[in-house]
A and B are shown apart, each in its own frame.
Chain A
Amino acid sequence: MLLSFLAITAIAVVRLRDLFGVVMLFSIFSLLSAAIFVTLDAVDVAFTEAAVGAGISTVLMLATLALTARTEPPPRHGTLLPLLVVCVTGGALVYGTLDMPRFGDPQAPIHQHVAPRYLQDSPAEIGLPNVVTSVLASYRGYDTLGEITVIFTAGAGVLMLLGAGRRRTAHRDDDKDKRGSAMKHSLVLRVVAKILIPFVLLFALYVQFHGDFGPGGGFQAGVIFAAVFVLYTLIFGLKAARAVVSPRVLHVLSALGVLLFAGVGVAGLFAGGNFLDYSVLVRHPVAGQHLGILLIELGVGVTVAAVMIMFFYLFAGRTR
Chain B
Amino acid sequence: MTMIVDVLSWVCLLAGGFLGISGGIGMLRFPDFFTRLHAAGVTDTLCAGLILLGLMMQAGWGLVAVKLFFIILFLSFTSPVAAHALARAALHGGLKPLLHKAEEDPSKP
Using CB atoms, name the residue of chain A closest to B84.
A188
Using CB atoms, name the residue of chain B closest to A199.
B74
Pick from A79-87, A110-118, A189-197, A303-311 the stretch touching chain B.
A189-197
Complex interface: chain B residues within 8 A of A188 (CB)? 81, 84
Please tell me if A3 contacts chain B, counting CB pairs below 8 Å: no
Q: Provide the B69-104 mask, 1 if CB < 8 A to any CB of A, else 0.
A: 000001001100100110011001000000000000
The answer to whether B88 and A183 have CB atoms under 8 Å apart is yes
The answer to whether A192 and B88 have CB atoms under 8 Å apart is no
A194 CB, min distance to chain B CBs, angstroms: 12
A164 CB, min distance to chain B CBs, angstroms: 31
The answer to whether A192 and B77 have CB atoms under 8 Å apart is yes
Complex interface: chain A residues within 8 A of B78 (CB)? 192, 196
Q: Is the interface of B mostly helix, strand, loop or mixed?
A: helix
A248 CB, min distance to chain B CBs, angstroms: 31
Name the one of A186, A195, A196 contacting B85, with C-beta atoms under 8 angstroms: A186
Interface size class of B (residues with CB under 8 A): under 10
Complex interface: chain A residues within 8 A of B89 (CB)? 182-183
Interface size class of A (residues with CB under 8 A): under 10
The answer to whether A186 and B88 have CB atoms under 8 Å apart is yes
The answer to whether B77 and A196 have CB atoms under 8 Å apart is yes
B13 CB, min distance to chain A CBs, angstroms: 18
Name the one of B77, B81, B88 contacting A182, with C-beta atoms under 8 angstroms: B88
A153–B78 CA distance with the chains assembled, in angstroms: 35
The answer to whether B92 and A192 have CB atoms under 8 Å apart is no
A182–B84 CA distance with the chains assembled, in angstroms: 13
Using CB atoms, name the residue of chain B closest to A200.
B74
B100 CB, min distance to chain A CBs, angstroms: 26
A68–B8 CA distance with the chains assembled, in angstroms: 51
A residues engaging B (CB < 8 A)?
Answer: 182-183, 186, 188-189, 192, 195-196
Q: Sort A-B residue pairs by CB-CB distance and give the 5 closest, nearest first.
A: A182-B92, A192-B81, A188-B84, A186-B88, A189-B85
Can you name 16 A-B pairs with beta carbons within 8 Å? A182-B88, A182-B89, A182-B92, A183-B85, A183-B88, A183-B89, A186-B84, A186-B85, A188-B84, A189-B84, A189-B85, A192-B77, A192-B81, A195-B77, A196-B74, A196-B78
